[in-house]
Structure 1
């Protein structure tokens, strides 16, 4: 039973790779204590600023065990943390999963989150002469390497008969890309999330194209394999999924309230967050893994391989664990 008192949520901001590895090395200490004396393990969840912890609190959902949320800047860093056994689970897009298959990182994908793709965009200055992606040939285009932006920019260029080498591609963080765009150092910026909307509102940028029709809208919950085979942690993960489904349903029913809370957490104008949420391509929800999710992730690996950006395709199917499908198919109670 889910208890109704407030859960014990601990938040850790942006741990360094060295700190994560130190923490992982200390996990062996648990073996010094008899199993009967150990309390329920703390579930260590990798998230993003304004992520699961905020949603659970605003939705009034609690958990019968302690959760330690650590904030990360990208899905690739979450993959590293999972591989280092420094966290138990975390969410990410399909792109880090494709790269994990290539690097043979020890992670497992165990649930799909259906999410928005309309906020995945290529923006240009309001006075730009560009009217289609093909007009960016020879132009300075910012993007964020090994993310959805990298992938959809590749695919958009391909559709115009262009390669990455046909543009001056500049790898930037979202924050640095926003600064570069504002200063006029970029002719276009492939970006995602609230940064794209803020650029539109603050600098009069125009959307050249969004990634609808390119990205599947599938995002994933991933875990370190040991967390799925440990009986106590697996039970906690099952409970976490059930509670998150309720929280996501609350989000859909209270989108304005959630948008305001998220805007405050992110330090953004509420108008930015609300504009993104109003244009979402589909409701955000937790669902079982299906063959399409696996196939589209494999296609991502193939695309990066064909573009000469990775040494091999990797077999993404090996990363998927569908043992939670029955749970995720349950009707909400």
Structure 2
């Protein structure tokens, strides 16, 4: 009892208690996932950046997948002391939701959903092309269907992903026949659900992209009623949030470099490229190379691409697909390509 009155012992106990408390605080901070002082300093100085990518597992975006599988993406990001995370979604509208929710920094998709994102007020900008191809998107009907023209779709059930570029193709095709989306029974379905619906005769037609076109045709389950030939370029693009791009422009450029390396490999060594990514799309390397014949892969955004995207925007706004008009100069930012 009397030892507790000894000043030297009391001082020792106080010091030990303080050290224990500090250690406990450090452990608690680590357990809660909060950054230590050194990590916090790295993050604030911009030396540890994570790029969160919203992806879609379709051959339309093969150059991005080649960049990922061949290690180009990691290599180029590492030059800027950055890493990437990868989340898969079934359509562009779902990527938009993830970006709007603050869960992704970038997303790749077709032209229309990117435009829709901008029109709803999302602070994003298209920074590069990925691919384009008029035949990579099509209206399919069962092989033995009595529907033989787009005009025959009037009053029929048509499945497609609302807000995707498939909606735009359907609208364009109907418009050429003096019809509109209101003249068909639209059924909002994901790509996978469209296949099931077509095979079960729950819908009369679907508007879908590759790899599904090639697979359904090769299986003898469907035939192409119409595709985008002559009316829709079908641009695939990448957009970044303006916040991320303004803070980390070098990371945006690194991403673009990696994707272009992927596009270059598809052009120079399609066998190697197809073997690397066919599994990502659920097709064989041979099927993938056939699909690639309908696509041109490049990050370049030239005048023809800008015009095509502008045409999509104008048509979508005129037909009420967009909530508000979009300034194309605010949507497309080619400075990261230079």
Q: For this structure pair, what is the TM-score category when the shorter chain's length is used for normalisation?
A: 0.7 to 0.9
Question: Against the structure 1 CA distance between its residues 301 and 31, is the aligned structure 2 distance closer, same or farther, given a 3 Å change threshold?
Answer: farther
Counterparts of 2:274 and 2:224, CA distance in 1: 22
Displacement of 1:83: 3.5
Q: Which residue of 1 aligns with 2:183?
A: 166
SS in 1 for 2:163: coil
Larger mean CA deviation between 98-107 and 233-242 belongs to 233-242
Once superposed, what is the RMSD of the aligned Cα atoms?
2.9
Q: Deviations over 1:279-304 (max 9, x none)?
A: 314x30111x3454344333323323
8 A contact 2:90–2:190 mirrored in 1: no
Cα 1:91–1:128 change in 2 (3 A) is same
Find the aligned partners of 2:157 and 2:182 in 1 and give their Cα distance: 11
**CA separation of 1:30 and 1:106: change in aligned 2, threshold 3 A:** farther
Residue 245 of structure 1: CA displacement?
1.3
User: Alpha-carbon deviation of 1:161?
Assistant: 1.0
1:56 is aligned to 67
Between Structure 1 and Structure 2, the one with more helix by share is 2
TM-score (norm 2): 0.77
Looking at structure 1, the residues matched to 319 and 36 of structure 2 have their Cα atoms a distance apart, in angstroms, of: 45
Pick aligned residue for 2:52 from 44, 56, 77:
44
Report what 1:303 is aligned to: 315
Normalised TM-score (structure 1): 0.78
Shift of 1:146: 0.7
Label 1:320 to 1:29 Cα distance change in 2 as closer, same or farther (>3 A).
farther
CA distance in 2, matches of 1:123, 1:39: 49
- The one-character-per-residue Cα deviations of 1:156-196 (angstroms, maximum 9, x if unpaired) are 00001111122222221111110011112222211111112
Query: Is residue 119–residue 192 contact of structure 1 (8 Å, CA) maintained in 2?
Result: yes
1:128-139 equivalence runs, <5 A = 128-139=145-156
Q: 2:104 aligns with which of 87, 90, 95?
A: 87
1:127 aligned residue: 144
Aligned equivalent of 2:294:
280
SS in 2 for 1:33: helix
Partners in 1 of 2:189 and 2:309 — Cα distance? 24
Q: Residue 129 of structure 2: which of 97, 112, 117 is its match?
A: 112
Q: Name the residue aligned to 2:250.
A: 235
2:41 is aligned to 34
1:244 corresponds in structure 2 to 259
Gaps of 5+ in 2: 1-32
* Cα distance per residue 1:209-253 (max 9 Å; x no partner): 1112222232222111122221xx221221222222122101222
CA distance in 2, matches of 1:121, 1:319: 26
Alpha-carbon distance change, 84 to 316 in structure 1, aligned in 2, over 3 angstroms? farther
- Please state whether the residue corresponding to 1:158 is helix, strand or coil: helix
Structure showing greater radius of gyration is: 2
**Alpha-carbon distance change, 253 to 38 in structure 1, aligned in 2, over 3 angstroms:** closer
Q: 1:116 to 1:292 in 2, by over 3 A?
A: closer
1:154 aligns with 2:185: no
